[in-house]
A and B are shown apart, each in its own frame.
Chain A
């Protein structure tokens, strides 16, 4: 029930605490009582932080912003899964009704050499920005555009490009991968632009530059396991990785 009839849970939380990128971290255990099943996972963290502050202890640092599943900022690794047990949702959209009374919940930051921990559960994902800066765009200065309806795009292509463009850049794919591969993220952008007529001119250069940037940031190679797709909150498909590999082959060998 969602109409204010939530039941209450008592929970044990094991949360990763780490002072900064250089310090060693460890788990800290907290007991929480009376958590409403109507709360979001981050609201449960709000309750915990208020409790810590009232006890004179520092609040747990975690990234979050829109709390409606679209900004991609929230990033908790919950019970061994990025964004927790529910498929297709971000941490902020995970609600406590997905848990049972008496549960122990283990919460860690994304773990990847390319995403260093800033503090507690917050990590540095600026590598993603640098990959986009290497080629994840169409080079069109403001004012250079023709009338939008002069470019006809079949609905199926537009829909497929949109599906890839729905990536929120949260990094769950990297966190899920045992190799910390960023291929789902990179391939989503490569696919979006390769599928659209506007993206054709730079198609070959783009994929080469983005893959090179990805390698330079220290992300690992694809394992073909598919954990990224399974854990992606936006359902970005593995087909994008296959497409990126084809694009790269096509761009590299003539």
Chain B
């Protein structure tokens, strides 16, 4: 029998969730007060879960490594959040959002979870607006929508180019309200270093106070990991500098299976690398693809300025290859399109590793509309462009400013140069329908879990999933387990050495604390010659070159050996200065890089074993004649859930994916 039980409720797809949440066990209010929940991470998933659970009466503690929960990287999401409101009367529905997400994920996501996500999507918008999140409005006072990739309806809600910021500040304000009321204890500048389990059940965590270096034990009846994705394994990504896999990875080593680690999203529109000093990459929102057209010159090595290249000598390759979706194809397809053109020698800019994202066409279109609105007869080209720029500025001003800040070029005058970059990881800790990992009492929410996006996430769906998990899923599903805890506590109430009496005095906490303290001292005592940063950079290069946008057997095999060697070198030659009992960012990073060095190997092994192409996972050996991803549904329609067995040793478990409501098909955007 499989070790994996996804606990998907019985019944028709559109009845599963409503029936399930109406019939699961509840925890009565008096008992909630004695149940402690630890939430690790304070992004959309963490802040929304923590505030919602505290509102319900649970005792909640929140941990984040940043100086404030408001810094979590959800804040950087630009474009928007999807919801099946159908405010635009353009044919949207719960089913269509469900369908688009399954198809967008290249038929590698779990149907029941995705349908639930689509069902609660509307409630998220309602909740956020009630909190005072200033989403964009039309002149009539109603909410505004825009289009995103992989869909043909307008279902994306937004707040200029700062949607993630506004949604996070909404969740943060709800969280701070609970902090102010004493219902949530906030532990900022704290990093979770391990999960404490007793007899296979989660009982708490070990965390390090990053200011004093003190190692702390925290007891919890349940632990929620809302710690985001692991894109920083590539060193260069759109993730924040501190985004890391440590909490999820430590959980993995304590028994939580890791699902589909190789599914990485490479976002097509990022600002290209400018030199070796590059520390991170910056995204240019997918919403720009609404109004920008992507092209390269038709001639190789064309060094003319983009504005000097006439229309007929430009190759709008996405519009050419995918007439139905054009520039709005999903991210994986758009990214591979850019890579294909650059690899073939048509790239632009100094590095030749970039394509143009050009706004001139739509600026002119907006300008003409404005001229008509203002009743300007026969406007000149200059006038049209001036009026059009005003509209573009209103829609994307902050993104254009950011581009100019970073590149020194004015995108209102010349097309942006863009290239794909690592952005999001669809893989993550395997969870069941309740969002529980394979370790009892340990949950994963938001990007940290694997469940909803299959092999490719659609734009504006990450914010939706993070908030769905936190506001509308975990408040119901956590009770399923905690009601069992209540029974256990009641049965053990006279037991002198019960965990409820001992809490962090249980020896398991001391053992875990010692293990993590030893690990920190180990970093400091290597006293090698190379910086933590240099190892991270080298790992990133291996991952990008051999486990990036395109992968093949030979490259992956080499990468595994290279990562193993790099890890060995790290543990004998890394230099970490300073001490353990102080604020020491370099020491923090050493722990994170050590974990990336293990995760990278698993990602390559997963990519190597998956002998097909699907979504963001493109194996060069498996493509159609015209270069599209070629899935193998007979042999690979499953979630690969890896069980940790020791260094470089994992056992593969499979969760079969059954499509009962959507007909599995070749994904086409042509």
The B-contacting residues of A in range 151-178, CB under 8 angstroms, are: 151-155, 158-159, 161-162, 165-166, 168-169
Q: Assess the B134–A69 pair: CB atoms within 8 A.
A: no
Interface bits A70-102 vs B (CB < 8 Å: 1, else 0): 111100000000000000110001010100000
A198-B133 Cα distance, complex, nearest whole Å: 10
Interface stretch of the complex, out of B174-182, B293-301, B638-646: B174-182
Q: Assess the B73–A66 pair: CB atoms within 8 A.
A: yes
A57-B582 Cα distance, complex, nearest whole Å: 15
Q: Assess the B165–A70 pair: CB atoms within 8 A.
A: yes
A133 close to chain B: CB less than 8 A? yes
Tell whether A73 pairs with B134 under 8 Å between CB atoms, given A66-B75, A155-B139.
no
* Contacts across chains A and B counted by CB atoms under 8 Å: 252
A72-B76 Cα distance, complex, nearest whole Å: 10
Q: Assess the B55–A142 pair: CB atoms within 8 A.
A: yes
A39-B73 Cα distance, complex, nearest whole Å: 22
Q: Assess the A198–B66 pair: CB atoms within 8 A.
A: no
Identity of the chain A residue whose Cβ is nearest the Cβ of B87 in the assembled complex? A149
A238 close to chain B: CB less than 8 A? no
Distance in angstroms from A75 CB to nearest chain B CB is: 9
Chain A residues lying within 8 Å of B52, measured Cβ to Cβ, are: 141-142
Distance in angstroms from B322 CB to nearest chain A CB is: 28
Q: Assess the B176–A144 pair: CB atoms within 8 A.
A: no
Q: Assess the B180–A2 pair: CB atoms within 8 A.
A: no
A146-B621 Cα distance, complex, nearest whole Å: 51
Distance in angstroms from A226 CB to nearest chain B CB is: 22
Distance in angstroms from B414 CB to nearest chain A CB is: 10
Identity of the chain B residue whose Cβ is nearest the Cβ of A21 in the assembled complex? B211
Q: Assess the A158–B136 pair: CB atoms within 8 A.
A: yes
Interface stretch of the complex, out of A9-17, A122-130, A217-225, A246-254: A122-130
A89-B404 Cα distance, complex, nearest whole Å: 11
Find B277's partner among A46, A53, A141 (CB 8 Å cutoff).
A46
Q: Assess the A43–B71 pair: CB atoms within 8 A.
A: no
How many chain A residues have a CB neighbour from B under 8 Å? 85
Q: Assess the A68–B402 pair: CB atoms within 8 A.
A: yes
A25 close to chain B: CB less than 8 A? no
Chain A residues lying within 8 Å of B69, measured Cβ to Cβ, are: 129
Tell whether A142 pairs with B48 under 8 Å between CB atoms, given A2-B408, A152-B140, A199-B132.
yes
Find B132's partner among A3, A57, A71, A196 (CB 8 Å cutoff).
A196
B240 close to chain A: CB less than 8 A? yes
Tell whether A1 pairs with B141 under 8 Å between CB atoms, given A63-B67, A129-B68.
no
Tell whether A65 pairs with B137 under 8 Å between CB atoms, given A43-B278, A70-B162.
no
A145 close to chain B: CB less than 8 A? yes
Tell whether A42 pairs with B142 under 8 Å between CB atoms, given A4-B351, A66-B76, A137-B176.
no
A38 close to chain B: CB less than 8 A? yes
The B-contacting residues of A in range 36-63, CB under 8 angstroms, are: 36, 38-40, 42-43, 46-47, 49-50, 53-54, 56-59, 61, 63
- Which 9 interchain pairs have the tightest Cβ spacing? A2-B407, A152-B141, A133-B180, A2-B408, A4-B350, A137-B173, A145-B130, A145-B126, A148-B129
Can you pick out 15 interface pairs between chain A and chain B where the beta carbons lie within 8 Å of each other?
A: A50-B533, A53-B586, A58-B586, A59-B577, A71-B76, A89-B405, A95-B405, A118-B211, A124-B67, A132-B173, A143-B123, A149-B85, A153-B141, A158-B136, A162-B166
